[in-house]
Amino acid sequence: MTSFRAVNPHTAEEFGPEIQNASQSEVAAAIEAANAPLLSPAERAQLLRNISLAIESDRAKIVPLAMQESGLPEARINGELTRTVFQINTFAELVASGAFLDPKIDRADPAYGMGPRPDIRKINQPLRVVAIFAASNFPLAFSTAGGDSASALAAGCAVVLKAHPSHPNTSRAVFAAIQKGIADSGQPKELFSLVEGNDPQITHWLAEHPKITAVGFTGSGAVGKLLMELTAKREVPIPVFAEMGAINPVFVTPSAIAERNEALVKGAIDSALMGSGQFCTKPGFFVVPKSHAEVFLAEVEKYLSTLTVGPLLNKGIADRYSSTISTLTKLGSVKAISANTADAGLAVTPTFFIAEWQTVAANPELLEEHFGPTSVIAIAEESKFEEIASSLEGQLTATIHGTENDDVKGLLAILAEKAGRVIWNAFPTGVSVTAAMQHGGQWPSSSSHTTSVGTDAIYRFMRPVSYQGMPDAFLPDGLKDSNPLSLERLVNGIRTKQ
Amino acid sequence: MTSFRAVNPHTAEEFGPEIQNASQSEVAAAIEAANAPLLSPAERAQLLRNISLAIESDRAKIVPLAMQESGLPEARINGELTRTVFQINTFAELVASGAFLDPKIDRADPAYGMGPRPDIRKINQPLRVVAIFAASNFPLAFSTAGGDSASALAAGCAVVLKAHPSHPNTSRAVFAAIQKGIADSGQPKELFSLVEGNDPQITHWLAEHPKITAVGFTGSGAVGKLLMELTAKREVPIPVFAEMGAINPVFVTPSAIAERNEALVKGAIDSALMGSGQFCTKPGFFVVPKSHAEVFLAEVEKYLSTLTVGPLLNKGIADRYSSTISTLTKLGSVKAISANTADAGLAVTPTFFIAEWQTVAANPELLEEHFGPTSVIAIAEESKFEEIASSLEGQLTATIHGTENDDVKGLLAILAEKAGRVIWNAFPTGVSVTAAMQHGGQWPSSSSHTTSVGTDAIYRFMRPVSYQGMPDAFLPDGLKDSNPLSLERLVNGIRTKQ
């Protein structure tokens, strides 16, 4: 197929214009035209603010499109636009501070301990032109102007954005706002370009082009691993920052159930079903203690029976979900509990699977990520919790629900080896954008130890360069003696604005 | 062969004990026993200091061994031991400061711009057990207790060190000192283990073992690329920090030659022949302007004729060098100038190759790294310098020799894209260990944008972990409210010791 149209998940009907698949030469042309001008921190912060302003101004146009294409409710999409704009502004603030340049100056020292030291100065420089792959499940916050795009622009890179075919019209609307922000800042439109299509070859053309210096990706393990293979085989290999999902285990102690069973179950299920279970941080695996399993599961069954969830994002996800549920339902010694089925469009039946830990361990498909409204609840002796945690693969998040009297230090230490973010008495969905946030971590949840959420995401798209003995006039502004950008710098080991 | 002995490069004769190749089960046993206890910054800094003290105490034992095994002169080896000890102490200082933990605290904020924010705290944690491959060319500073080992220990990792077969007895002596430092600190000997051998399979066994979480390597592109392939194919891929060498281009402007030809040529050749041309930062490629080539080359010929250099590190390097020189000498339109040949052991004839840029461009082997006392001098119109720079592969370093009146901004901008360190009016050999140092950078000179020299090398062996809503008692000390380690932390975006 050379073209496709958007689909409304509520009706499974196509709508909107035909979207043409980009050809190889169109992809190459976008990359070759890409242009990341050298901007001062203040100019780049202003560019980001202009982009966020333009997106906010188009809220009334973008939100209905994203709702129509994703099937997600208005409150969620409105919140996601707020988050998208906030995220860009957070990067603007970091960029304006200049802290992202991380300038370090070690002045010449003839008496240095290992022998005379020349003047050496280091600063971060952008990787130039990066390919970003939008995610399906956050049509705004992890898509066209999402965290990967915002952090790459903030770093000083030009972005070639592969739009997700699940929401092509939302992507176009956001792209138009980005272009308005770029134009309002007097910058070249080639700073950001959009590549459209559902042809899998587009992924190859982007990852293999010699001018691409890094890849940002949020999506399936299969595509993430393909990107790693493609980029490793290049004449010049490049980093791939792939966020590929996880089962985000949640361990529940007996005392947590004894203290707050109803609220705990409600929180757990609401988190698992949020966005119709299509979050990369969905708690897909709960471990509950045998001693308190009965009361916990009774509450699960009771609460689930009251729920109906919205449709899935696209037909591919809905088909894979139905096939998964059908497979898991046939497993022996596994109980399935379902919520209500909405009977329109891409709606499916939310289904939880319950089994003894031994059964889960014997059926590895229960420990895989399954996109959609499903989770696995394993029943185990509390004394087995550490052993279970040790047996798990790397995760984006890991959670403990307990009380402060619980002895969970051993479990916590194991989980901190497995996951990028460890959570206490809360749920992993709803990732805040802050300096301390870590979203990413251990394989196979992501391809590197970096984060794709929070301000540290910017460092994925920069590289340090040292200048030795360089005359002041030839140095980047961030390293000049007069400190014209008024940066806080590490000078001879001391943080100073001098 | 299941065993081998050290070779004295001055005589090409074997000496010392038989060194047995480690078997697969011995390698696995070393990795499985590896043990990195959780230490406070003060304890870990003390451990590093005890190791450096033990090495310094054994100077009189280590230096003669390293001289005998490397063929390098006493001043060089003594300086290298000083550098090794200094490097470890520099990491001790960083560790003691706690800055390497990079703690960030974002307190809960119900009024946060994108929606209520939970309490999130992030800190660096060690990768646990890493495999380090020692280099041949720095028997101390890039070997058993070299920069990779020191930064991994500083990060809190256990190290499994693959000794380089070029200097097995030096490795044993340094290993003994490391073990003394570990014992003096009351730490387990399994914090650091030595794997010996020249069997290429050992590389596979180390890189493929599931308990290894990262690889540090300094050496050839062939082995670096093998390590990348092996680690990418693992069930859990791991990062490889491979520093694989470069030709380290040096561009010379007409005004530099006009101003200081004699000193410039002496500096250039001394740098190229330092350590018998076996530095990864050796300037292996000079570009000189056609207008001033004659006077520059006359001085090269004159100075070279006065020189004799020491033997190469081992028979493999010496054989490859001779074969390379023989190949390059046969190229058409390339002039070879040689220095004197020392006629003992693994000594070779230092040989420089001179050609017009067009000839160099047409013979890619002139643009490859060749270990040993050889460099290529290309003659080109100054107007071609930027084009030549653009055509080069990624480099560890790039250098300009000029005067401050030269218009080199364009050339400099290109070189800052190509290299991790850009140097003005100095030479790339002699890498200082400082916070601002960058040693590594663009492919194929290294496998990542990190540095293997300087204090930033520590971050290769750590990963950030976030803790969300965690009770104070369960947090790592570096993140507790009371700040028991007295760290400078980023709290709600502000740097503070509170």
Task: Give the 3-state secondary structure of A224-258.
Answer: HHHHHHHHHHCCCCCCEEEECCCCCEEEECHHHHH
pLDDT digits (tens, 9 = 90+) for B151-168: 999 999 999 999 999 999
- Could you tell me if A404 lies within 8 Å of chain B, comparing CB atoms? yes
CB contact set of A111 (below 8 Å; sequence gap of 6+):
none
- The β-bridge partners of B356 are B379
CB atoms within 10 A of CB A223: 16
Tokens of residue B231, six digits: 């680690």
Picking from B128, B416, B470, the nearest residue to A465 by CB comes out as B416
- Cis preceding-peptide flag for A444 (omega within 30 of 0): yes
The pLDDT-based confidence of B263 (bands split at 50, 70, 90) is very high
Residue A364 in contact with partner chain B when CB distance is under 8 A? no
Catalytic residue among A69, A280, A369, A382: A280
Q: In terms of Cα–Cα distance, which of A216, A217, A161, A169 is closest to A67? A: A169
C-alpha B236/C-alpha B247 separation (Å) is: 33
Contact indicator for A52, A85 with CB cutoff of 8 Å: yes
Tally A–B CB contacts below 8 A. Answer: 197
Q: Is A436 on the interface with B (CB under 8 A)?
A: yes
Provide the token pair at B78. Answer: 């003594």
Q: Is the dihedral of CA B197, B201, B203, B209 positive or negative?
A: negative
Taking contacts as CB-CB distances below 8 angstroms, the residues of chain A near B449 are 239, 463-464
- Among A304-313, A383-392, B457-466, the range scoring the smallest mean pLDDT is A304-313
Residue-level pLDDT at A373: 97
Round to whole Å and give the CA distance between B409 and B415. Answer: 10
Provide the shortest C-alpha distance from residue A341 to chain B (in Å): 31
Whole-angstrom Cα distance, residue B146 to residue B83? 9
Q: Which CATH number fits domain B249-424: 3.40.50.620, 3.40.309.10, 3.30.1330.10, 3.10.310.30?
A: 3.40.309.10
Which of residues B371 and B343 earns the better pLDDT score?
B371
Q: Are strands B104-106 and B120-126 parallel, antiparallel or unpaired?
A: antiparallel
Which residues are bridge partners to A249 per DSSP? Answer: A285
Largest CA distance in chain B: 78
Q: Is A280 a catalytic residue?
A: yes
Between the CA atoms of B462, B467, B473 and B476, what dihedral angle is there, to the nearest 10 degrees? 10
Query: Band of the pLDDT at A150, cuts 50, 70, 90?
Result: very high
- B409 contacts on A by Cβ (under 8 Å): 474
Is B43 a residue whose pLDDT tops 80? yes
Residues of B classed as catalytic: 243, 280
**Whether B81 contacts B138, CB under 8 Å:** no
Q: Which residue has the tokens 């300096």?
A: A435
For residues A351 and A336, what is the distance between their CA atoms, to the nearest angstrom?
Answer: 6
Q: Is B79 close to A115, i.e. CB distance below 8 A? A: yes
| Token duo for residue B89 | 């102490």
With CA atoms as reference, report the closest residue to B307 among B335, B274, B278, B283. Answer: B274
- Distance separating alpha carbons of residues A390 and A159, to the nearest angstrom: 39
Contact A466 B104 (CB under 8 A): no
Nearest-Cα residue of chain A relative to residue B109:
A432
CB B48 within 8 A of CB B184: no
Query: Quick check: B437 and A122 CB within 8 A?
Result: yes
Contact B396, B445 (CB under 8 A): yes
pLDDT score of A1: 66
Report the pLDDT value the prediction gives residue A184, as an integer from 0 to 100: 98
Instruction: State how far the alpha carbon of A96 is from the alpha carbons of A22, A91, A99, A154, B328, in Å.
Output: 36, 8, 8, 10, 52
Using one digit for the tens of pLDDT, what is the confidence trace for B296-348? Answer: 999 999 999 999 899 999 999 999 999 999 999 999 999 999 988 877 899 99
Please say whether the beta carbons of B100 and B458 come within 8 A: yes
Tokens coding B269 = 């050749």
Q: How much of chain A exceeds pLDDT 70, in percent?
A: 100
Nearest to A422 among B408, B417, B465 (CB): B465
| CA count, 13 A, side-chain hemisphere, B411 | 24
The Cα B164–Cα B66 span in angstroms is 12
What pLDDT is attached to residue B344?
Answer: 84
B148 half-sphere exposure, CB direction, 13 A CA radius: 30
The strand pairing partners of B289, in sequence order, are: B380
CB B248 within 8 A of CB B399: yes
Residue written as tokens 């901004």?
A: B409
Question: What would the mean pLDDT of B43-66 be, rounded to a whole number?
Answer: 98
Q: Is A435 touching B (CB cutoff 8 A)?
A: yes
**Closest Cβ–Cβ partner in A125, A412, A442 for B416:** A125
Facing residue for A118 by CB, picked from B83, B416, B426: B426
Largest CA distance in chain A: 78
Q: Do B121 and A89 touch (CB under 8 A)?
A: no
Residue B404 and residue A473: Cβ atoms within 8 Å? yes
Would you call B422 and A470 a contact, using CB atoms and an 8 Å cutoff? yes
CATH 3.40.50.150 applies to domain B3-244+449-461? no
Residues 19-38 of B with CB under 8 A from A: none
According to DSSP, the residues that pair with B380 across neighbouring strands are B289
The beta-carbon neighbor of B443 closest among A82, A120, A236 is: A236
**Which among A104, A436, A444 has the least Cβ separation from residue B436?**
A104
User: In this structure, what are the phi and psi dihedrals at residue A465, rounded to the nearest 5 degrees?
Assistant: -130, 135
Residue A244 pLDDT level (bands cut at 50, 70, 90): very high
Going from the C-alpha of A361 to that of each of A246, A272, A356, A379, B146, the distances in angstroms are: 17, 21, 9, 11, 43
Contacts of B451 (CB under 8 A, 6+ apart): A464, B420, B437, B438, B439, B440, B457
What type of residue sits at position B137?
A: N
pLDDT of B65 above 90: yes
A474·B438 Cβ contact <8 A? no
**Residue B165 near residue B19 (C-beta atoms within 8 A):** yes
Report the distance separating Cα A485 and Cα A479, nearest Å. Answer: 9
Task: Give the model confidence (pLDDT) of A100-124 as tens digits.
Answer: 999 999 999 999 999 999 999 999 9
Which three-class secondary structure string do you get for chain B?
CCEEEEEECCCCEEEEEEEECCCHHHHHHHHHHCCCCCCCHHHHHHHHHHHHHHHHHCHHHHHHHHHHHHCCCHHHHHHHHHHHHHHHHHHHHHHHHCHHHCCEEECCECCCCCCCECCEEEEEEECCEEEEECCCCCCCCCCCCCHHHHHHHHHCCEEEEECCCCCHHHHHHHHHHHHHHHHHCCCCHHHEEEECCCCCHHHHHHHHCCCCCEEEEECCHHHHHHHHHHHHHCCCCCCEEEECCCCCEEEECHHHHHHHHHHHHHHHHHHHHHHHHCCCCCCCEEEEEHHHHHHHHHHHHHHHCCCECCCCCCHHHHHHHHHHHHHHHCCCCCEEEECECCCCCCCCCCEEEEEEHHHHHHCHHHHCCCCCCEEEEEEECHHHHHHHHHHCCCEEEEEEECCCCCCCHHHHHHHHHHEEEEEECCCCCCCCCCCCCCCCCCCCCECCCCCCCCHHHHHHHEEEEEEECCCHHHCCHHHCCCCCCCCCEEECCEEECC
> Would you tell me which residues 104-143 of chain A have a C-beta closer than 8 angstroms to some C-beta of chain B?
104-106, 112-115, 117-118, 120-122, 125, 128
Decide if B120 and A434 are in contact by the 8 Å CB cutoff.
yes
Q: Answer yes or no: is pLDDT of B498 > 80.
A: yes
Instruction: Looking at the complex, report in whole angstroms how far the Cα of residue A125 sits from the nearest Cα belonging to chain B.
Output: 9
Domain layout of chain B by residue ranges: 3-244+449-461, 249-424
Q: Tokens in use for B80?
A: 């290298």
Could you tell me which chain A residue has the CA closest to the CA of B495?
A495
**Which structure tokens are listed for B272?**
């190229």
Whether the predicted model's global pTM rises above the 0.90 cut? yes
**β-strand A335-338 against A351-356: which pairing, if any?**
antiparallel
B484 exposure class (CB count in 10 Å sphere: 0-12, 13-18, 19+): exposed
Chain B residues in contact with A473 by the CB 8 A cut-off are: 404
Nearest to B434 among A120, A408, A437 (CB): A120
Q: B432 and A106: CB-CB below 8 Å?
A: yes
CB nearest B466 (choices: A120, A436, A463): A436
Contact A424 B469 (CB under 8 A): yes
Name the residue in chain B with its Cα closest to that of A416: B465
Selected for mutation to probe chain A from B105, B418, B432 (highest A CB count within 10 Å) is: B432
Q: Is A88 on the interface with B (CB under 8 A)?
A: no
Q: What pLDDT sits at residue A498?
A: 87
Q: For residues A307-332, give the mean pLDDT.
A: 95
Percent of chain B with pLDDT over 90: 98
What's the rounded Cα separation, in Å, for the pair B229 and B222? 11
Interface test with A, best of B86, B414, B434 (most A CBs within 10 A): B434
Answer whether A466 touches B (CB < 8 Å). yes
Say if strands B494-496 and B489-491 run parallel, antiparallel, or are unpaired.
antiparallel
CB count in 10 Å sphere of residue A295: 15
CA distance B305 to B299: 10
Q: What is the DSSP letter of A281?
A: T
Length of chain B: 498
Average pLDDT taken over every residue of chain A: 97
pLDDT at B1 over 70: no
Any B CB within 8 A of A408 CB:
yes
Q: Residue B350's Cα: distance from chain center in Å? A: 24
pLDDT in tens, B20-32: 999 999 999 999 9
Question: For residue A464, what are the β-bridge partners?
Answer: A124
